[in-house]
Amino acid sequence: MVRFLVILILVLVPSGSAFAERGRDIIGSVTVTLIHACAGQQDDSLAKFKRLDEATSQRLMKDPRLKFANYRELGVDTKPLFRSYENWAKPISASDDILVRFEAEARPSKELTRLDMELWLNQKKILKTGAALTAGNPMYVLGPEWRQGRMIVIISLSPYEKPILSPAP
């Protein structure tokens, strides 16, 4: 009887830990681009950041809420999208002032992935939203006023055909 229990435990423990790690499967990647937009002259401290490319600038100008005279790309960060774990994107690599938290809400399909997302500014959550993203259709979020302009966050999804399985512990 004891031998049976020991064998049963040895069989179930490894499979249980493998099941627990199932949430670490990478099912896609999320790219977060942070943009500073302003109607007039930009702050001198933003001169070190590159101007936004023409195609993205034209796309932003089509929406009246996102239409500004000047755009600067503050940073880009691409992170894996885990099946059941949250992740943090840090678009400005040298600073923890601006962070985006995201995690998959439900099992993604080939057409649609639902994400729970939060925008954090100076360690305070300033925006929480649920988003339904499809590959090739980024989501544009008009953020708060910041340094004599507005922040715009662009979130795009790149799903994987087959999940990348997490490594065995």
* Side chain identity at residue 124, one-letter code: K
Question: How many helices (H) does the chain have, and how many strands (E)?
Answer: 2, 8
The pLDDT of residue 168: 44
pTM of the predicted model, to two decimals? Answer: 0.74
For 85-102, how does the pLDDT look when each residue is reduced to its tens digit (9 = 90+)? Answer: 878 888 887 777 788 888
The pLDDT of residue 158: 78
Q: What is the mean pLDDT of residues 140-155?
A: 85
Under 8 Å between Cβ of 45 and 147: yes
